[in-house]
Structure 1
């Protein structure tokens, strides 16, 4: 029985039924957990797995014992849901478990070692660099390269957290990965494995559920957001921008709240990914597409009228600008109005709101400002602020006060510093 408890596997790719027919979250495509990884008790002590309740232990050596009927505690637990009457295994460091130790050997162990070597290389390179001593061009180049290096790691973090979370869902009962490891729930297992916070784990899993492959009736389907998934796999989009696109368009995807044209939704996703990455992502030609000679034929630059059905990959560089994640979030809101123009007024007043501005009552020498602006007006105001507050527009001549400080030796001519903060500058 102990072997059954520790060696059971969590089913994956089970087609949803009933009210969950369209809940794709119950059908993430992931390989079934390796039962061998948890054989031999997975390194857990036998006493920690052995039941201590009379209802679970039979008479010794055939001796008569009390009747165990359906009214027992085990019977009630069985009717209530997944049977969890057995005591949960005690938590131990996964590195001490034989199954995890075996994972570090063989071909898979070589892949783990390659990741460890990559992390060691990054540490060695950064240890050899004195960031404070870098020139301006060098620190700018390093900042971009560090971000580029971290994006594949972020994508891998999302992928692994999603699979662990799926295999640890409470509906699996004793077969839950979290239960078999002695954790209380999926987030408890994830934070024990990674040392991160629950909000961060929820963030990764929520994003992963939208960019992970899906299973349906035994077939593996592409993610709900295939363009975002392809950009993350290519290491060209960060988690912030990916979240902005997924959050902005989630209600307009298949089975969403709004009846939007899915072709337009896919176009919006592709456009937002292009704006976030500076790269064009699109479908490549599949083996059955007209004019396709191989699975790797991208069809880029030829036969533009041919509809491609292959996987989404990077096709080339974009001719437009690249925008940060905050700007992508604003652009996603604009796409919401495009995808649901008729429902914009009743569903979201933001798109029909008018800018407003007023002064509050004088308090502590200041009148508080009250109001709000539309995205269009905010863009105009931000452009004005950026133009006048640019570092290139530093004052060329000292003011009267600055001249007095120069004469008093408190300020060096030619190095006039603007000590106002951002809010004071915008007010001025």
Structure 2
């Protein structure tokens, strides 16, 4: 083991012993002492990251000039340098990629013809890294902004000096990695004003959205990349659905309950991803019913689910979506029946339509006024929630034939 590795190992053992006793001591320390310990530990982390980045830079240089079979990554059974870093440091794949990016940006390569040590791409940021002023996050934030940029060498060095100075700290104090990224973006926009156009062109070419086929898990994969303005508009839609001041709470998909079991209010245990999924369903439904979309077959685009009446009532069997041979669960049909309307079609043995009728699920505003006048507040015993905070529920479930009538509607919070 080298002298540096021995020294780092001894330092690690010392820190391990300090951590065991220090963490308990922090519980009784004052706020200033806790913050001081936090800042000191963060500096040690940045200094350790400097060694990690430099070690990775050495491996980058050695692998560049070695045959594939003699490369460090190959000899240690790794597919690439990121995997090698991940195994050696136990970090995530994302962090390992940042280490490789930072290593390539601050490494000092050797000229093959003269053997001279060449300066790194970001010499000032490298000095800040070695001094413990800028950590891995800061180096990766700066280098990622200028990746693929057409900024000249002199201009890049000028930006490097200013960004490193900000990382070390000015009168306002040192900046965070996010602030370094923002400052680097300003420099990149100033030094390469035409750089945004190629990036926009690439974004236009790579934009897309793909809807896969339903898998064995009953889910349909959705993947793609949105333009920033499209993503921003979608986020605004999400915000409007989740707005706590909205008149109507955002509906959510819930697991199927027992057919005759009680319906109880439960805490929202959905993950952030599950909430976004349910919000997207709300937005799609609102767009379809807005009347602003092009007509399909002379009517607004309406999702139709085919299910037998007896299956919907019993909760067994399957339902079918248009244009998809893979059946869906009855629970999915119940979700749609709860949010829309049930249209009952009676067919004969030969397939001839004998009758067709539509039973709306949503109570009209006239019916709501009448039910509000009758009930006054939530009908749950002991609950005094006012009517404007209540919803009108079917006593006999609409999906089981319950009519949308004032005699079959009650106020429930």
User: Taking structure 1 as the reference length, what is the TM-score of the superposition?
Assistant: 0.44
Q: Which has the higher contact order (CA 8 A, sep 6+)?
A: 1
Tell me the TM-score normalized by structure 2: 0.45
